[in-house]
Amino acid sequence: MTMENGMTYGPTLPISEEIHAMKYRTEGERFTEAMTRVADALADSKHHFNEFREVLYNMRFLPAGRVQAAMGAPRTTTPYNCFVSGTIEDSMGDIMAKAGEAAQTMRLGGGIGYDFSTLRPRGARINSLDSSSSGPLSFMKVFDAVCGTVSSAGHRRGAQMGVLRVDHPDIEAYITCKNNSTDYTNFNLSVAVTDEFMDAVKLDLDFDLVFDGRVHKTIRARPLWDKIMRSTWDWAEPGILFIDRMNQKNNLHYCETIAATNPCGEQPLPPYGACLLGSFNLVQYVEKDLLGYAFDHDKFQHDIVTVVRAMDNVVDRATYPLPRQEKEAKDKRRMGLGVTGVANALEIMGYPYGSEEAKRVFEIIMRTLRDTAYRASASLAAEKGPFPLYDEALLDSEFAQTLPGDIRDLIRAHGLRNSHLLSIAPTGTISLSADNVSSGIEPVFSHFYDRTITTFDGSKVERVEDYAYKNFGVKGRTADELSPEEHVDMLVIASKYVDSACSKTCNIGSDVTWEQFKEVYMRAYEGGASGCTTFRAAGKRFGVLNAAASEEDVPTPEQPVDDFVSESEGAACYFDPATGLRTCE
């Protein structure tokens, strides 16, 4: 918390101040000094600087942690959270080269995803060596070891996403490779599921496992689907990526193919793809009126325009780990603006999370974000020029076809400054640093939890309360009080209005049956989501996480929140069982 000109700015909770100072500020830097630094680094003019700084001061927009830590700072880090590896060619030389590029990316603070489907299956013939391949799972261990070794910028552990297509011959072994607490701990894993496979599941058909045009095995689709579901039921992995939908929806369908995502799945990216993140803090747009509380759409729209201009400038003023990542970023100028504090904002206004009224209001907010961001980007294109690879074929994407007619006309006239503008990230750390607002589009996990702090005078317990509970006395619906359908419905609404993807964990209660659980994924697919992730507290993964949490002190300023889970349970996105926070930051 910082006092300036008689006003108070920044985090007020002790834990929020500690986290923000530790992760996003240089030594001795106050909150307002850090936000002035970021605004100065990204401003187009004095007027823009003042507007953007005011937004940052009041925490109405929370740039991703990498942006806050990197822009204008003396240390060399990248403001980009999200990368995807270049295509991994099926050769030892290229596999090792990509591992080296991954190390450089993580060293500067970027998370990275990989498509391992390009590697021949286990047992396949290698003619040049007169031997057989060990398969993609063995080579994944190389990347896992690299991630575990590299200490990335800001002392965070590296973040990785591994992806394998559902039709790869090694898919059955891949599905269960993390069904323990020891293997591939520096990876999140997802299966790239095709429409063809989903059709085969629904019709109970045979399905071919193929590599390089040759059928290696034919199986029944439903048992394979059940195997994926059983692993997620017990171990919360692998996640599901609806890969064909990602490509059909993609604004750049005419010049790139998506095969993988960033570590938490909200950014489908091409080889060497990079994307910036940031979230609008919706609780800061809730204003008191004569009838209670209402959402200030005018202020929201004004801020979106200011933020799009600022975040567009990151592309040109950033440090990049690799030259090919820089070229990819500048050719397409992607960003991923999203929202956080959704549950808190809705509940403060009197709309229980997951209710029909909450869904209606949330949809209006998301539509406002989409339309205002696209208008702002088209206007920037008129002023500064469209992104270099812009083509009017962009308007043929499934997403662009959902835009209102006047925005499509504006794009035809001027192009777009940014190929993509929207995604929903898991905002665990930045949400905690903003006085513990509800994370992303997730419901409240708990209304409070107790944190043990070790001081020179001994240990003390500090209560950390949910933002809406502490400031408004609102006890929002918690994650375990929601039905699976209510979780998925919020995911589907968000997915409809973003041009990339959404990261959301659908919490599954112990009373949910096996058939109901499988229906969560079908509901997400049929509803238009680009992917789906679930977490069962009754599953085996929770036991590992809970044991890790109980064996360690609650985080202190020397121990970052997103490193709370023990080193033996690394993974690429961190889930804290005490707080419910999931983050890749």
Catalytic site residues?
262, 264, 266
- Chain-centre distance for alpha carbon 85: 17
User: Tokens 């990248």 map to which residue?
Assistant: 78
Nearest to 205 by CA among 222, 227, 230: 222
Nearest to 115 by CA among 62, 189, 33, 219: 189
State how far the Cα of 314 lies from the Cα of 335, in Å rounded to an integer. Answer: 9
As separate numbers, helices (DSSP H) first and strands (DSSP E) second, the chain gives: 20, 24
CB atoms within 10 A of CB 288: 9
Structure-block tokens of residue 339: 């929202």
Buried/exposed code over 386-424 (b: 16+ C-beta within 10 A; e: otherwise)? bbebbeeebeebebbeebeeebbebbeebbbbbbbbbbb
Q: Given CA atoms 213, 217, 219, 224 in this order, what sign does their dihedral have?
A: negative
Please write down the long-range contacts of 139-142, taking CB distance under 8 Å and 24 or more positions apart. 139/95, 140/116, 140/177, 140/184, 140/187, 141/184, 142/95, 142/96, 142/99
Phi, psi (rounded to 5 degrees) for 340: -140, 170
Nearest to 386 by CA among 322, 331, 455, 318: 331
Residues 6+ apart with CB under 8 A from 539: 233, 234, 235, 236
